[in-house]
Chain A
Amino acid sequence: MKESILSWLKNRYPVDSVTEFAQKKKVPLFQGTIWYYFGGITLFLFLIQVATGILLLFYYRTGADQAYESVKFLMTKVHFGWLIRSIHSWAANLMVLSAFIHMFSVFFTRAYRKPRELTWITGMVLFLLAMAFGFSGYLLPWNELAFFATKVGTDIVGAVPFVGDFLLTLLRGGSDVTGATLSRFFGFHVALFPGIFTLFLVIHLAFVQVQGMSKPIGAKEEELKTMPFFPNFVLRDLLIWLIVLNVLAILAVFFPWELGAKADPFVPAPAGIRPEWYFMFMFQTLKMLPAHIAGLEGETVGVMAFAIAGIFWILIPFFDRSSQRGHKSKLLTYIGIIVVIFILVMTILGYTLS
């Protein structure tokens, strides 16, 4: 049976070359092998997002007068509705977390070096899209926290020089955060971003397949131990996915995601408005900047600084000459460590300072 199906396929598709390819692929074994799992974890969580997102769509209604009610209905009346929503929210957070880890591990191991520059860039696009997913999805339940977080977040975008106003109206669908904003964010979240994300994901994964796993920098080919990708590494991947799924289930069940109060544009902001944790470091930095720096609004300066830093980060494979020559530059390691510390400190400050 198996034989006949296989030969049926073989007559039509280049099955052999695929299996041969899979057999040849090797994963280097060394201290850092553990970091190889985080790309896969991120992928797994993304798949969960797609599945739960589709399920949520069956009940969700957009619009300022229905969104909150439909989520409430989903959470109180629909069987397991609370669970699906809770998983969607938790998996989103874990996905961003594992994307952070994946990104920094690639950075510190210099896995972005030649010939993988484009893999890094597509990865960065995916990373930014993941954050955009988080930001747009946050508003959809139309609760108070999300409403004000979106006001603040889009207002920050409005601080970008020259195009700020244009972007602000583009995002908000008007000058204020209203039902029009909600419709837009819904469109971004369920149609535009998934489309672009899938495209870049396919490219990113294809690059990884074509070039194989990156070897630790400066390692001697013959001294390096390896493990076959298929089936050994894949099985380990699956095991880890199972563990992640369990962690996710525990979080979703024991810490179900709150809905909060419905957004009302004529009610003062409640205390404790804060963005999701992965925006906290930027947010906290902007908050600590003085109102005016060198004659410009502090915010504008901060936003520009983050934009420049982001562009530098995306283009790092092209700046990093020493990794192309096969050794790590100390300077970049220090920069990386400073970035991590900066993010951690600002995040902690954001949660502890009132």
Chain B
Amino acid sequence: MSQDFKRRTIVNWLLGGGVIAWLSAIFFPVLKYLQPPSIPEAVVSSVKAATVNELANNSSKIFKFGNKPGLLIKTPAGEWRAFTAICTHLDCIVQYRDDLEHIWCACHNGHYDLQGRNISGPPPRPLEEYDVNIQGKDVYVSKRT
């Protein structure tokens, strides 16, 4: 009797374990399949974002920094600034408002000042700032290291 019982327990464990192994053998590849392979991103550390004459004071431009948008600003005082254009709140793309003279996210009314600091609305963090270098007629933007 107890012999029998033991045998049954063992068989149950084996069967149960078999089913689990079988299911994971199916679902593991499926889950992995759904996760896209990470394509090595061409690491961009510096791009030419504009030419010097392209922007007037108090205006801006979206440029491509790799496959992400960046925001290049020429402040009312004529200084160059560059940030990622991706809002730290929920990923929307921010814009420069020449009427407010600072950066604005339309999605949930987030505001950043000209240093990229979040000054009002929901964004929890400042925007990442890039370095701007002028070389001849070209405006280069590069990641801070």
Contact = CB atoms under 8 A, between A and B. Distances in A.
A292 interface: yes
B106 A170 contact: no
B54 interface: no
B124 A180 contact: no
B122 A266 contact: no
A291 B126 CA distance: 13
A43 interface: no
A59 interface: no
A169 B122 contact: no
Contact of A152 (B34, B90, B109): B90
Contacts of B67: 176
Contacts of A342: none
A272 interface: yes
B107 A273 contact: yes
Contacts of A266: 62, 64, 69, 93
Contacts of B85: 268
B106 A269 contact: yes
A276 interface: no
A49 B107 CA distance: 30
Nearest to A170: B34
A346 B123 CA distance: 20
A180 B39 CA distance: 12
B95 interface: yes
B112 to A, nearest CB: 13
A273 B39 CA distance: 30
B90 A151 contact: yes
Interface string A273-294: 1000000000000010001100
B97 to A, nearest CB: 10
Interface SS of chain B? loop
Contacts of B91: 151-152, 155
A298 B85 CA distance: 22
Contacts of A14: none
A16 B93 CA distance: 64
A268 B90 contact: no
A322 to B, nearest CB: 38
A169 B36 CA distance: 7
B134 interface: no
Contact of B106 (A155, A271, A287): A271
B35 A268 contact: no
Contacts of B35: 166, 169-170
Contact of B90 (A156, A174, A180): A156
A173 B92 contact: no
A270 interface: yes
B122 A268 contact: no
Given A180-B36, A266-B69, A287 B108 contact: yes
A55 to B, nearest CB: 29
A297 interface: yes
Closest 5 CB pairs of A and B: A268-B95, A291-B124, A269-B92, A271-B106, A152-B90
15 contacts: A152-B91, A152-B107, A155-B91, A169-B35, A169-B36, A170-B35, A174-B36, A176-B68, A265-B93, A266-B64, A269-B92, A269-B106, A270-B106, A273-B107, A297-B124
Given A152-B92, A287-B108, 14 more contacts: A151-B90, A151-B92, A152-B107, A170-B35, A176-B68, A266-B64, A266-B69, A269-B93, A269-B94, A270-B106, A271-B106, A291-B122, A292-B124, A298-B124
